[in-house]
Structure 1
Amino acid sequence: MRFFESVSHTIRNYVEFSGRASRSEFWNFFFFVLVAQFVARFVDAMLFRWSPFAGPVAGLVSLLLFVPQIAVAVRRLHDVNRSGRELLAPCVLLLATPLVIGFGRGFLPRIVALGLAGVTLLMFANLLLQLTRKGSTVPNRYGASPAAFSFARQG
């Protein structure tokens, strides 16, 4: 699939958590989200004062693209025969890290926070590894391969 076809396919299936997504579909949408966020931040900087935090335009773009990002990531994990639930643990740990860091000022809370940050990084590294792996070309428990008959779609 070409870039815009891939992005429009992902947006059309924005709440579809079943099935599989190819590597190109996932990474094309990832790049699209980065560009959309950059443009939204630029518009925020032009219309409003620049801030290191998201402005109203960037916040709206983030809100609109959140569910499609999760859906395509779940489908991408399905393509490598992994469950979409594997997204849950790293995201929960990422949200819990600031709470643990701000919890205490002693030596032990800092060690716990450092350990939690390390575990979170390892989980995201594993997730990144799964997202970059080549998907199987044969059907798995999540459906047919998105790339198996890609030659039939062209033309």
Structure 2
Amino acid sequence: MTFVESIKTCLLQKYISVQGRASRSEYWWFALFSYVVNFVCSFLPLISIVVSLALIIPSITVAVRRCHDLGKTGWLILAPAAGIILGALIMCTAIYTQSESMLSAGSIILILGALGGVALSIYFIFPGTQGANKYGEGPYVFTEQKATVQG
């Protein structure tokens, strides 16, 4: 899948769809697109907020479909997010109550959540399952020489 095909798929065809599977190229091209667009828009605060909010849903849905391609449930993406959110909430509470031990615990949980996000990103580098799995047909066409992504 090309860069443009990935953007069309994620923004126009499967904006809110968590059904099916996403190839590595679909996921990583869309991630690159999201990072670049968010960086460029970061210089215009109001536009940056609107663009970031518009890209949240397709970013989540393509990550869920990428999990499906690897044969895993899409709920897997919640683990790092839960750690980061829980850690941040504990840290905010710790600042309010001036509890150093609670601040340390919140920091550790937040860091573990962030490391989980890094681990999940590394996991997304691996190839998906060949052929059909419980989430649908694979996005790849296998030949003797190579695998290509279906249109």
User: Could you say which TM-score interval applies, normalised by the shorter chain?
Assistant: 0.7 to 0.9
Task: Encode CA deviations 1:18-57: one digit per residue, 9 max, x unaligned.
Answer: 1000001000000111111122123x1xxxxxxxxxx210
Higher relative contact order (CA 8 A, sep 6+): 1
Any unmatched runs of 5+ in structure 2? 143-147
2:107 matched residue in structure 1: 114
Alignment of 1:5-154 (within 5 A): 5-11=5-11, 12-42=13-43, 44=44, 55-104=45-94, 105-148=98-141, 150=148, 153=151
Greater CA deviation, 68-77 or 93-102?
93-102
Q: Which amino acid aligns with 2:114?
A: L
Task: Encode CA deviations 1:82-126: one digit per residue, 9 max, x unaligned.
Answer: 100011121122122222112223342133123312421332233
Supply the distance in 1 between the matched residues of 2:33 and 2:132 (Cα, whole angstroms): 28
Q: Which amino acid aligns with 1:95?
A: I
Q: SS of the counterpart of 1:123?
A: helix
Supply the distance in 1 between the matched residues of 2:118 and 2:2 (Cα, whole angstroms): 28
Report the RMSD for the aligned CA atoms in angstroms: 1.8
Size of the alignment, in residue pairs?
A: 142
**Percent identical residues:** 32
Change in Cα spacing, 1:152 to 1:58, as seen in structure 2 (3 Å) is closer
Change in Cα spacing, 1:115 to 1:13, as seen in structure 2 (3 Å) is same
* TM-score computed with the length of structure 1 as normaliser: 0.82
Greater CA deviation, 59-68 or 118-127?
118-127
Q: Which amino acid aligns with 1:3?
A: F
Q: CA deviation at 1:151?
A: 6.7
Any unmatched runs of 5+ in structure 1? 45-54
* TM-score computed with the length of structure 2 as normaliser: 0.84
Moved >6 Å (runs of 4+): none
